Amino acid sequence: MAPPLLSVRDLRVEFDTRDGIIPVIQNLSFDLHAGGTLGIVGESGCGKSMTALAVMGLVPGPMGRIAGGSIRLDGEDLVAAGEQRLRQVRGNEISMVFQEPMTSLNPVFTVGDQIGETVRLHQGLSRREAVNRAIEMLRAVGIPAPEKRVHEYPHQLSGGMRQRVMIAMALACRPRVLIADEPTTALDVTVQAQIFDLLQDLQAETGTAIILITHDMGAIAELAERVIVMYAGRKVEDGPVGEILGQPLHPYTKGLIRCVPHLEADPPVERRELMEIPGVVPGLSQLGGVGCPFSPRCSESRPDCNMMPVEKAGPGDHSVACWAVSEAAS
Amino acid sequence: MHIASVLIRRILNAAGLLAAVLILCFTLIHLAPGDPAEVIAGEMGGATEEMMAEIRALYGLDRPFHVQLLSYLGNVAQGDLGYSFYFNQPVTDLIVERLGATLLLVISALLLAIFLGTFLGVVAARNPNGLISHFVTVLALFGYAAPVFWTAIILLILFASVIPIFPASGGMYDITGPDDPISRALDIAHHMVLPVITLSTIYLAFYSRLARASMLDVLGSDYIRTARAKGLAEVVVVYKHALRNAVLPVVTFAGLQFAQLMSGAVLVEAVYSWPGLGTLAFESLLRRDTPTLLGILFFSSMVVIIANLLTDIAYRLIDPRIRSGAR
Amino acid sequence: MSDAAREFEQELRVESPAREAWRMFISNNSAIVGLAIFTLIILTTFVGPLVYTVDPFELVWAPLTPPGEEGWLLGTDYLGRDLVAGLLIGGQSTLAVGAAAAVITITIGITVGALAGYYRGWVDEALMRVTEFFQVLPPLLLAMVLVMLFEPSLTTIAFAIGIVSWTSAARLTRAEFMRIRELEYVKAARSISASNARIIWRVILPNAAPPLIVSAALSVGTAILFEAGLSFLGLSDANVMSWGKLIGDNRPAILAAWWPVTFPGVAIFLTVLAVSLIGDGLNDALNPKLRRR
């Protein structure tokens, strides 16, 4: 197998808070191959978005910082790279689509200016060429009448349209990695499907690798090849999408999957009950403890859970960090 | 909504406000204790009862209130704001002569306050716990608490007497100096420094604090994160993407505070003998010259109304959401 | 009662909002400094003249005697009047006018804002037009005209300042009323057919109070600055000493002597500084949510 395009090893991100230094991401490792799609799932506050910002080199300072590990793009360690090099990477080799299309576009510049700005910066296009590229990109993301829309301001577009603009902006330089952070959470359900279809089409066309961050298991099933499940800043399970969805090992993953309602063409007489995971995600100040952070909410909690579980290989290409699993699976 | 129709509505509104100012001025004269005829007679050095009646007839003071009001409005519409007995000149001429000096002072001070204040605010916001940030906080407190006329006097003592680098005589230029345009302009600039700095202090303090708060808010917004994610240099992120949004409240307040600025100008001009409306107001106050003082009130309000109109247009140019009527 | 029960009860006992605000206020260093300066100024100006009985209008020594010389602590002004006496007695009228003007400002502001925000519709439209009108009149010029026409006295000055500075309090009150009138407890009051007057003054106003208290505190500072400005221009009661009057009287002599204008200026500055520190402290204490933003 070819070496991975993006390889994250033992990533640790820390924040300074009033209660001291808090690790919001610990021991995170994953690989992304060229043209592949990696899903990252977990509830809000599990460190998914922070992972994305870390890859972009945009951990909000001065409180936050990458405190350890490496993020290698084609072998080059971005953690060690200077700000200037990171600016060349951002928007050009790795780009990102954010969760909030309503507020992620600058209200005082036209859509065309904002898309064009990226290509002018990274590819040195002239103003006129940049407008043409912006029109081309708007057409590619399925915005009707792009010649007209290119001169409009964000407030003149609907939420779905704005997210398309964000995607157009992110893909304008043909990046090798696209990070989509909850790209559809703020949108209507029908629009959500359109955006996912669009991402899939564009990926097929451009070969961009995608990191899809979401808590929507349906989207993961449809788009991702591999999935990592995060909880409280740690990876708790990692594997091919089929195995994770079909045979989840970690109690948290099982919980997440049970939360998803299933629409079936021919529903069985007795439908599975829709479950929720009791309790809430630990707050910032609760991170960095010695025990398994999920144990307070876990139905399979046991005395060992006072210690942090280590990642261990499960069946096949599947790994999990849980004391309860070790006996059952391996 | 189209910008032209907005503009027309604003202009109509402004005209209404101006008419209201006039009615207020006129009513104030009538409400005030004392007979205007007596005042006029006093200016002329005393008068008999017959002369008083003559004066009343001459100025229409014997007619009913509303008739007098209408004729007053009619006069103003023709540019006649009355006659100043003290200065022996029509009020309109007096004011028009001095309006330029006040506008020069006020606009320079406002621009200085806006640009320097915004700059300080932005620098402070980029490093909220840094030295500049604390300086802005302290400046804001001091700028608010120090009476502007006192600041003027202290600066005058310091920089015209102790360290004599600026003219102590006040005024706008040295009448004995060379009168070719370039020397005159330089001389005016030299005389302007202290008054402009004094007048801008209060607003500098206010705008730097406002810009700091607004910039902090904008820098935390999603579209700034987007701009960073594009790989833009920090300078571009701050001065292109953030500043244009952060400056909106500053523009709004600049317009709203124009009335206060005209007020401050009165005090600053009085200290530096700057030959503008403020000094005129001060002099007419000493002479109890009511027509002139009311004329100044009217003209200053007009300046404020026009400034508000311009602010409104500027705001629409900066913010496309307002421009197209969507909020 | 068992210990556990007592502990439980202790936990239940929620601090009253006023007490909590006071606790936050006194834990704020700059607010305490402001309060200390302000108390000191009040004490000196109101108790001082009882101890130090020189008449501020009396010509006690040679004009423009520098501070400290001939036993005059702060020196004398251009007429030879004692500046210590001037500062002490002058502070009384400056502070009194400042306080009275602030009361007038906030009273007009709250009344206009409450009626506009509560009734909305044409009442709002009309009152906002009036507010807009007052906002285009340069406040100092209007105050000058008013005081000149009605003869300078402490009363006319206080009213003039109130009349020209109520607009921002009105806008603030209106905004608060518009927000609060839509809340559940106001709807509940209306549903038991409480009278409009009762809803305005007893239900909404107390809940709109925190920002209005801050605004009132800050308007004391603005009013003091205003009084000083008017006195400086010569619009003061000729028989009453005030800080602004001292500066105004001595203005022609500034290049010869710095002290007659500097000391009253410092007094005004410290007072307004103290008031605005108190205002900021109140703001932090009464609107804790805003602070944490």
- CATH at residue C217: 1.10.3720.10
C212 assigned to some structural domain = yes
Give yes or no for a contact between A87 and B232, defined as CB atoms under 8 angstroms apart.
yes
Per the prediction, chain C carries an average pLDDT of 81
C136 assigned to some structural domain = yes
Q: Is A100 on the interface with B (CB under 8 A)?
A: yes
Give all chains having 3 or more CB-to-CB distances under 8 Å with chain B.
A, C
Would you say residue A53 has pLDDT above 50?
yes
Task: Please give the pLDDT value at position A262.
Answer: 61
Greater confidence, C79 or C171? C171
Q: How many domains does chain C have?
A: 1
Is the Cβ pair B21, C133 closer than 8 Å? yes
* Range in A251-265, B66-80, C257-271 with the lowest mean pLDDT: A251-265
Is the Cβ pair A118, B230 closer than 8 Å? yes
Model confidence at A326, in pLDDT bands (50, 70, 90)?
low
Q: Locate the domains of chain B by residue range.
A: 2-77, 91-326
Task: Please give the pLDDT value at position B2.
Answer: 65
Task: Please give the pLDDT value at position B327.
Answer: 38
Pick from B222, B230, B236, B321 the residue to mutate for testing the A interface (most A CBs within 10 Å): B230
Taking the C-alpha atoms of residue B59 and residue B146, their distance in angstroms, rounded to an integer, is: 45
What are the residues facing A177 on neighbouring strands? Answer: A94, A209
Q: Is A215 on the interface with B (CB under 8 A)?
A: no
Does chain C touch chain B (at least 3 C-beta pairs within 8 Å)?
A: yes
Angle at B299 between CA B293 and CA B302, to 5 degrees: 145
Task: Please give the pLDDT value at position A275.
Answer: 62
Task: Please give the pLDDT value at position A277.
Answer: 74
Taking the C-alpha atoms of residue B155 and residue B138, their distance in angstroms, rounded to an integer, is: 19
Indicate the angle between helix axes B49-58 and B36-43, nearest 10 degrees: 110
Task: Please give the pLDDT value at position C207.
Answer: 82
Which is it for strands A64-73 and A76-77: parallel, antiparallel or unpaired?
Answer: antiparallel
The token duo for A8 is 């994250």
CATH topology for the B91-326 domain: MetI-like fold (1.10.3720)
Is the Cβ pair B318, A108 closer than 8 Å? yes
Taking the C-alpha atoms of residue C220 and residue C279, their distance in angstroms, rounded to an integer, is: 10
Domain that holds residue C46: 17-291
Indicate the angle between helix axes B131-145 and B91-126, nearest 10 degrees: 150
CB pairs under 8 A between A and B: 73
Per-residue pLDDT of A125-157, as tens digits, reads 899 999 999 998 898 888 889 999 999 999 899
Would you say residue C293 has pLDDT above 50?
no
Give yes or no for a contact between C144 and B293, defined as CB atoms under 8 angstroms apart.
yes
Model confidence at C291, in pLDDT bands (50, 70, 90)?
very low
ipTM, interface predicted TM-score of the complex? 0.85
Q: Is A105 on the interface with B (CB under 8 A)?
A: yes
Task: Please give the pLDDT value at position B112.
Answer: 92
Per-residue pLDDT of C72-94, as tens digits, reads 666 777 777 777 778 888 888 88
What are the residues facing A310 on neighbouring strands? Answer: none
User: Alpha carbon A165 to chain centroid distance?
Assistant: 19
Per the prediction, chain B carries an average pLDDT of 82
Determine the average pLDDT of the residues in C28-55: 82
Buried b (16+ CB within 10 A) or exposed e, B61-93: beeeeeebbeebeeebeeeebbbbbebeebbbe
Residue in B225, B319, B321 closest to A58 by CB? B225
Is the Cβ pair B231, A87 closer than 8 Å? yes
Tell me the whole-structure pTM to 2 decimals: 0.80
Is the Cβ pair A103, B222 closer than 8 Å? yes
For residue B260, which residues of chain C lie inside 8 Å, CB to CB?
138-139
Q: Quote the percentage of chain B above a pLDDT of 90.
A: 6
For residue B296, which residues of chain C lie inside 8 Å, CB to CB?
141
Determine the average pLDDT of the residues in B231-255: 87
The token duo for C183 is 């809340």
Q: Is B262 on the interface with C (CB under 8 A)?
A: yes
Give yes or no for a contact between B102 and B265, defined as CB atoms under 8 angstroms apart.
yes
Per the prediction, chain A carries an average pLDDT of 84
* SS3 assignment, position B243: helix
For residue B286, which residues of chain C lie inside 8 Å, CB to CB?
234
